[in-house]
Structure 1
Amino acid sequence: MTETTLLEVSQLTSGYGKETVLQGVDLHVKQGELVAVIGRNGVGKSTLMRTLVGLMKTRSGKIQFGGTEVSDLPPDRRARAGIGYIPQGREVFPELTIRENLLVGEVANVDGDAPDYERVYRFFPILKERSRQRAGTLSGGQQQQLAIARAMIGNPALMLLDEPSEGIQPSIIKDIARNLRSLNAETGAAVLLVEQNLDLIVSLADRGYVMEKGRIKATLGPKAIRDREQVRKHLTI
């Protein structure tokens, strides 16, 4: 991990209609880091991710990525800048095959290099085995693997994952954590993770932020983010 800041968020506000959900969020992610955003349900974690990727409008504050402000850029421009997004609920294209879903991910690859399908299949071999299968017929865990792989095809510098453990059996969650750590080590891609699964948080994150009522209320360093009891108290309703 380098000391170069990849993502810098300053006093970010966003919301729905007249409701302001994010109340001046400050956070950063350095190159190569794996960072978790944790907190109870309804504190604004998913709103944060949707705002970072451009699906929700920034009302005030700044989002800087790679030293460039991207606050007003649409989602496709942010993807081409190097931000990969794996949404809550996965949102694969159910009527398309696995291969066709992965082809969609190529749109974000603007480096000029050929997409590295072999690397994707090395991490998720079942996607190669079933490349002609429609995505809608996959299990929840397999769809999550596909959603991560689709983001990988774009060769992002930063991957935003929103609740990747949701609706997935524990064995697959362990596989996802292992693959994300391996991907991080191999490619240097940073990860910003919104999650409530205790096991995934403590096994994956290098450090973390605690959200409460649309604000960052605490930061957790490397030791704290691996302390199960300390993390648990921020997740308990």
Structure 2
Amino acid sequence: MLELRNLHVAYESGDVVRGVNLTVNQGEIVGLIGANGAGKSTMMKSISGLVPSRQGQILFHGQDITRTAPDRIPHIGISHVPEGRRVFGDLTVEENLHLGGYRHRNQDLSADFERVYQLFPILRERKKQRAGLMSGGEQQMLALGRALMSRPSFLILDEPSLGLAPLMVQSVFRLIREIHENGVTILLVEQNVELALRHVHRAYIIQSGQVVMQGTPEELRQNGNLMDAYLGAKVRS
């Protein structure tokens, strides 16, 4: 469904992503795991067209989208929930969701709203509340709901557990599983190794902008000492 071929992404300070090859098959949850500064978020922004690549290709369903403008990315079925949620704090929950559905703005969105409200009941209760007054976990749910309003087939999630209390992390990941079960393929960026490996089918370990390991959770856990060397965190078997 998604393929990165020899992807290089650079800022003025130099290359951040260095020759990454990666695939995500339809129906999978695939994880990108790595420490801060490993290049994970930059890679996701490149897929979404927010940061141009210097070299390589990004293919979606076999179509080259490497130079696709960011405002066209939702139209091909990709939604991106960025790190830090990035909701519009001065707008209401309902207005944020409306913005998520802009690609279908000439259509009746009532079924989309109902689908999001069934998945996230708290958003129905808070739909007239300013998003900036919500808790971090509620804002994460809003960011997920806003992404779903575009009816994506492919969802990029960048650090959905960041800054959330443990109980809220469990709730958010339970909802991510439900989104996946409803037919959405997911590319998940996550620093929490154990959390990621409990929810993905396969994972790529990223260090200094490069893939250093890949495999199923079971395969990666068998190389726990090697993962410790790259990630600096003990991985439970």
Q: Which residue of 1 aligns with 2:6?
A: 11
| 1: CA distance, partners of 2:194 / 2:42 | 23
Give the one of 169, 188, 197 matched to 1:202: 197
Q: Is the 8 A contact 1:31 1:190 kept in 2?
A: yes
**How many residues matched?**
231
| 2: CA distance, partners of 1:84 / 1:197 | 22
Give the one of 125, 140, 144 matched to 2:140: 144
* Per-residue Cα deviation, 1:30-76 (whole angstroms, up to 9, x for no partner): 11110100012211111111111111011110001122111001111
Give the one of 148, 154, 171 matched to 1:175: 171
- Change over 3 Å in CA distance of 1:108–1:232 after alignment to 2: farther
Q: Which residue of 2 aligns with 1:159?
A: 155
1:37 aligns with 2:19: no
Question: Which residue identity lines up with residue 90 of structure 1 in the other structure?
Answer: R
| 1: CA distance, partners of 2:94 / 2:33 | 33
Q: Which residue of 2 aligns with 1:61?
A: 56
Give the one of 130, 134, 140 matched to 1:134: 130
| 2: CA distance, partners of 1:148 / 1:10 | 28
Q: Which residue of 1 aligns with 2:43?
A: 48
Q: Is the 8 A contact 2:220 2:227 kept in 1?
A: no
Q: Mean Cα displacement is larger for which, 173-182 or 131-140? A: 173-182
- Aligned ranges for residues 84-103 of structure 1 at < 5 Å? 84-103=79-98
Question: Which residue identity lines up with residue 20 of structure 1 in the other structure?
Answer: D
Q: For 1:193, what is the secondary structure of its paired residue?
A: strand
- Change over 3 Å in CA distance of 1:231–1:113 after alignment to 2: farther
Structure 1 residue 236 displacement after superposition: 1.9
TM-score normalised by structure 2 residue count: 0.91
TM-score normalised by structure 1 residue count: 0.91
| 1: CA distance, partners of 2:214 / 2:175 | 25
Q: Is the 8 A contact 1:135 1:143 kept in 2?
A: yes
Q: For 1:40, what is the secondary structure of its paired residue?
A: coil
* Per-residue Cα deviation, 1:200-233 (whole angstroms, up to 9, x for no partner): 3122111100111111111021423577957962
| 1: CA distance, partners of 2:80 / 2:215 | 23
| 1: CA distance, partners of 2:23 / 2:108 | 28
Q: For 1:116, what is the secondary structure of its paired residue?
A: helix
- Change over 3 Å in CA distance of 1:231–1:169 after alignment to 2: farther
| 2: CA distance, partners of 1:228 / 1:110 | 48
* Per-residue Cα deviation, 1:124-146 (whole angstroms, up to 9, x for no partner): 10000010000000011110110
- Change over 3 Å in CA distance of 1:136–1:228 after alignment to 2: farther
- Change over 3 Å in CA distance of 1:110–1:155 after alignment to 2: farther
1:235 aligns with 2:237: no
What RMSD over aligned residues (CA atoms) do the two structures have, in Å?
2.2
Consecutive unaligned residues of structure 1, counting only runs of 5 or more, are 1-5
* Per-residue Cα deviation, 1:97-151 (whole angstroms, up to 9, x for no partner): 0000000011234996745222211211000001000000001111011001100
Q: Is the 8 A contact 2:34 2:191 kept in 1?
A: yes
| 2: CA distance, partners of 1:144 / 1:28 | 26
Q: Is the 8 A contact 2:198 2:217 kept in 1?
A: no
Question: Which residue identity lines up with residue 170 of structure 1 in the other structure?
Answer: P
Q: Is the 8 A contact 2:197 2:217 kept in 1?
A: no
Q: Which residue of 2 aligns with 1:116?
A: 112
Percent identical among aligned pairs is 41
Consecutive unaligned residues of structure 2, counting only runs of 5 or more, are none
